[in-house]
Chain A
Amino acid sequence: MSTRVMLDGNGAASEGLRLAKVRVISAYPITPQSPISEKLADFVVQGKLDAKYIRVESEHSAMCCAIGAQLTGVRAGTATSSVGLALMHEVLGVAAGCRVPIVMPVVNRSLVSPWSLWCDHQDAMAERDGGWMQLYAESAQEVLDLILIAYRTAEDARVQLPAMVCLDGFFLSHMSDAVYVPDQATVDAYLPPYVCHNFHLDPGDPVFINNLTPTVDYTEMRYQQAVAFRQAPEVLMEAMADFKKVFGRDYSMIEAYQCDDAEAVIVTLGSMSGTAKYTVDQLRAQGKKVGVLKITSYRPFPAGQIKQALAKVAVVGVMDRSPGYGAQVAPVATEVRAVLGGKPVQGFIAGLGGRDISPATFTKAFEKLLSQEITADVDWVDVKENALTIREVK
């Protein structure tokens, strides 16, 4: 049984953590994540969630508290965004290296400078190699569902990796949508209580965690993390298949939309995928053979699946919501290019600092691809013509 209610992305994230029965919450507010911190506090006070709420003094401490709590054998929850995620950076590595399978909603927001409160993916991309899985949601429903799927995957003995469930700031976090909220008994059947398979803190079974590790072991312990990532796709797909059986909603590491006969496809992440699909429908109505490939699981990166999905597509573009300074193209495009080995891949950058990636932006990008106008340089497709004179200091 599930109830259909109006929820924004933050509300869906809070419901996901509530249904996962997190026992310790350490939270610090940051725009646009703050409603998650508030809602979880409310759940605890109202008795809707049997947890201890720790009102920490920073995101750094939020992650440390969550790690500490989870090492005692309970699910711990927190959420963050932007500079808060950046402040956590140091200890995100501790969660990953100590194999603490925390699941954390990350409300995607730009990094400074300049200051911005609004969406792009610079925050999560800066953490992409830190040992956390990263799932990107397209809708509020996906936020809730991916949190449950992420827990199932993260806590599996074959994986034991922390996971971020990324949702676009304001576009998802603050936009209301009709969301199916499952009942607790069904979630309990899908997501059993947390069992710690590895490092744990217990005076009855003492072990010292995270001490200085010599060269003879360090590489091997890092390799263990790499093996976990190698095993994660299978576990993630199992979790998604079971999810479909229990809840009826279909998830996969990538979603190909109108790609079968497409001449040009744009690869997307997160909420822009909906706009991309809408644009594809519009262009298809005009007889243009275009498609969208949405990546749901950015870490682990589904290279084989992407290669297969794009095998017959002549021209591929990637819409990155982060700039990838100094690189050939931005982060997602870099990896798609590596997967497709030699096939032209046009890198696009758009939607920074909360700028909407509109159907017009996608149309412009598709037209460029269809006309085979591939450029070696990344295309800042939505940049204004007077870009270099904006706030110029003379």
Chain B
Amino acid sequence: MLTIKSESRGLIAHGVSACAGCGLELAARIILDVLGSNTVIVIPPGCAALFSGYGKETVTKIPGFQGNLESTAAYAAGIKAGFEVQGRGDIQVLGLAGDGATVDIGLQALSGALERGDKILYICYDNEAYMNTGIQGSGSTPLNAWTTTTPGGKSVYRKDMIGIVAAHKIPYAATASVGYVDDFKKKVEKAKAATAEGPAYIHVHAPCPTGWGSKPEHTIEVAKLAVQSLCWPLYEIVNGVNYKITVPVAKPKPVSEYLKLQKRFSGVDAKQVEAMQTAVELDYARLTKK
């Protein structure tokens, strides 16, 4: 048993067993700082389950429930409903799930909750693969990235998850990055406010040094480069129609600069980089026209 010598700041204890340089850990601390203690968190198995804890110990100072991989949104919807019928609808219910638990297996339950207008906040931390089980490819793994189940590089584009969410026309949806903390915080605040009306969704880009082969001390740099190279644009969508870029990129850096800090793209050739460059530019152009 550890003796706690100093109280941790915020709602997450220090000494979390996340990997060095974990983008998710930073995201989780930011999220709970903004949401405050009147919050219930639902976490499925995955990297964030580290915050659920182990045995008799937990990392969060708020109540939580570790659900199943595919049903974070459904548990959150039920919890919210339980509070609402007891006149405690002010309690914020947060689902915090990874890309696998959101983009792949959890998509059905999430879509159901979004369509019904359940007043929950759902945040997907995207480290672009199933990191907790050992770097297997997900629907959010980008084109050409190495994972243990895409050993030759992923041959297809990632799912446009935020586009799928926006199609549900929910009050608030946004992308975010741990490299842009102020922007992320503002979005969590807006999302929190939006849950008075209906569901809110944030998709936060959270680099994973273990899975990406980047240096732990480079996490923020990698996250920033993703945004500056147009690989991860930062924007928000109100009611599914009003798109707004929140961190405009006037002079984008080349995609190659983002890739070179990570080992997962080490097998990529010049032609593939060119294809990626074209794809992100097209995406960004489409986005800015919305």
Identify the A interface with B (CB < 8 A). 23-24, 26, 50-52, 54-58, 60-61, 64-74, 76, 90-91, 94, 201-203, 205-214, 216-217
Contacts and interface: CB of A to CB of B under 8 A. Distances in A.
A24 B85 contact: yes
Interface of B: 37-40, 42, 49, 52-56, 58, 60-68, 70-71, 73-86, 88, 91, 108-109, 111-112, 115-116, 118
15 contacts: A56-B74, A61-B77, A61-B108, A61-B112, A64-B74, A65-B78, A65-B81, A68-B76, A69-B79, A70-B78, A72-B79, A201-B79, A209-B64, A212-B52, A213-B55
Contacts of A214: 54-55
Contacts of B116: 54-55
A91 B82 contact: no
Nearest to A66: B78
Given A68-B75, A203-B38, A94 B108 contact: no
A57 B111 contact: yes
Nearest to A215: B55
Contacts of A201: 40, 63-65, 79, 82
Given A24-B85, A55-B116, A212 B55 contact: yes
Given A208-B58, A211-B53, A71 B82 contact: yes
Contacts of B65: 68, 71, 201, 208-210
A69 B68 contact: no
A365 to B, nearest CB: 43
Contacts of B74: 26, 56, 60-61, 64-65, 68
Contacts of B75: 64-65, 67-68
Given A72-B82, A73-B82, A210-B52, 18 more contacts: A23-B82, A26-B78, A52-B84, A54-B81, A56-B77, A68-B67, A68-B74, A69-B81, A71-B79, A72-B79, A72-B83, A201-B64, A206-B60, A210-B67, A211-B49, A211-B58, A212-B66, A217-B56
- Main secondary structure on chain A at its contact with chain B? mixed
B78 to A, nearest CB: 3
Nearest to B38: A203
- Main secondary structure on chain B at its contact with chain A? mixed
B136 to A, nearest CB: 19
A366 B240 CA distance: 67
B68 A57 contact: no
Nearest to B65: A209
A64 B81 contact: no
Contact of B82 (A50, A74, A205, A209): A74
A272 to B, nearest CB: 35
Given A52-B84, A69-B81, A210 B108 contact: no
A58 B108 contact: yes
A258 B173 CA distance: 67
Closest 7 CB pairs of A and B: A68-B78, A72-B82, A57-B112, A65-B78, A61-B74, A69-B82, A64-B74
Given A64-B78, A203-B39, A208 B49 contact: no
Contacts of B85: 23-24, 50-52, 69, 74
B204 to A, nearest CB: 22
B37 A203 contact: yes
Nearest to B58: A208
A68 B44 CA distance: 13
A3 to B, nearest CB: 27
Given A56-B112, A64-B67, A76 B55 contact: no
Nearest to A216: B55
Given A56-B74, A203-B63, A208 B52 contact: yes
A66 B71 CA distance: 12
A65 B118 CA distance: 11
A23 B42 CA distance: 21
A76 B53 contact: no
Nearest to A91: B68
A147 to B, nearest CB: 20
A23 B83 CA distance: 10
A24 B78 contact: yes
A206 B66 contact: no
Contact of A211 (B52, B73, B118): B52
A222 B122 CA distance: 32
A52 B109 CA distance: 18
Contact of A73 (B54, B58, B66, B86): B86
B95 to A, nearest CB: 10
B53 A212 contact: yes
A60 B69 CA distance: 12
A64 B42 CA distance: 11
Contact of A64 (B40, B64, B71, B91): B71
Contacts of B77: 26, 54, 56, 61, 65, 68
A203 B74 CA distance: 20
A212 B109 contact: no
Contacts of A210: 52, 65-67
Given A203-B91, A206-B61, A60 B78 contact: no
| Interface-centre pick from B37, B63, B73, B88 (highest chain A CB count, 10 A) | B63
